[in-house]
A and B are shown apart, each in its own frame.
Chain A
């Protein structure tokens, strides 16, 4: 059974702080790992998709890394801003399944 876990469940940081959170997944049957950003009352929006062990992706102040052998991915936000407040979802894709994690809810306090 594929199970994707994320930690922490929620996070409160001060504006300007850097932060990171984790997505854990079973390393077998791995095809891709996705990160989505989901603002309240909106739809999830894609941040990154990673497929290879050691992949690193970066978009502005946000970056992500992938370790498929040990089954985890980190999402980093440098210099958090209030507009970064959202739920960050990771999703694992196997050859025929898509499993979303429960998300990490980030609140950035001005």
Chain B
């Protein structure tokens, strides 16, 4: 298996632009997680899905952030409009059948908002 795939790996954009991050989980995994890593706050859970349904989005910073999972093999995290404080590394992870199982992380997307 190729593992969790994220794209793009790097994104540089200007403040106010829309940014879309993509994730393909490991095939057969029921859970998908979006995280943000910053120096100040470490690794933060933004949202997670179970069988394509959002379960907990309490970590989503504000309305500028939205996430979707239209099918079992694809998820997006969108920021509109982007701001410099959104600059961070965004990780996607997936896990098999139960929330307490090990998560497998993608390589991350490094986002820089100028």
Contact among B33, B93, B99 for A31, CB-based, below 8 A: B99
- Beta-carbon contact of A99 and B100 below 8 Å: no
The reply to whether the CB of B114 lies closer than 8 angstroms to some CB of chain A is no
Residues of A within 8 A of B102 (CB): 34, 46, 49
- Beta-carbon contact of B33 and A98 below 8 Å: yes
Number of interface residues of A (CB under 8 A): 21
Write the B43-80 contact mask toward A (1 if CB under 8 angstroms, else 0).
11100100000011000000000000000000000000
- Beta-carbon contact of A45 and B105 below 8 Å: yes
- Beta-carbon contact of A100 and B91 below 8 Å: no
Number of interface residues of B (CB under 8 A): 21
Complex formed: what's the CA distance from A5 to B41 in Å?
Answer: 13
Residues of B within 8 A of A95 (CB): 99
CB distance from A38 to the nearest CB of B (A): 8
CB distance from A8 to the nearest CB of B (A): 15
- Beta-carbon contact of B56 and A96 below 8 Å: yes
The reply to whether the CB of A102 lies closer than 8 angstroms to some CB of chain B is yes
Residues of A within 8 A of B107 (CB): 42-43
The reply to whether the CB of A71 lies closer than 8 angstroms to some CB of chain B is no
CB distance from A106 to the nearest CB of B (A): 15
Complex formed: what's the CA distance from A46 to B108 in Å?
Answer: 16
Residues of B within 8 A of A99 (CB): 45
**A63-110: which have CB < 8 Å to B?**
89, 91, 93, 95-100, 102-103
- Pairs of residues from A and B, 9 with the lowest C-beta to C-beta distance, nearest first: A32-B100, A43-B105, A93-B100, A46-B102, A31-B100, A100-B43, A102-B42, A44-B105, A49-B102
Give 23 pairs: A residue, B residue, CB < 8 Å, sorted on A: A31-B99, A32-B101, A43-B105, A43-B106, A43-B108, A44-B91, A44-B105, A46-B103, A46-B104, A91-B103, A93-B100, A96-B55, A96-B56, A98-B45, A98-B48, A98-B99, A100-B35, A100-B42, A100-B43, A100-B45, A102-B42, A103-B42, A103-B43
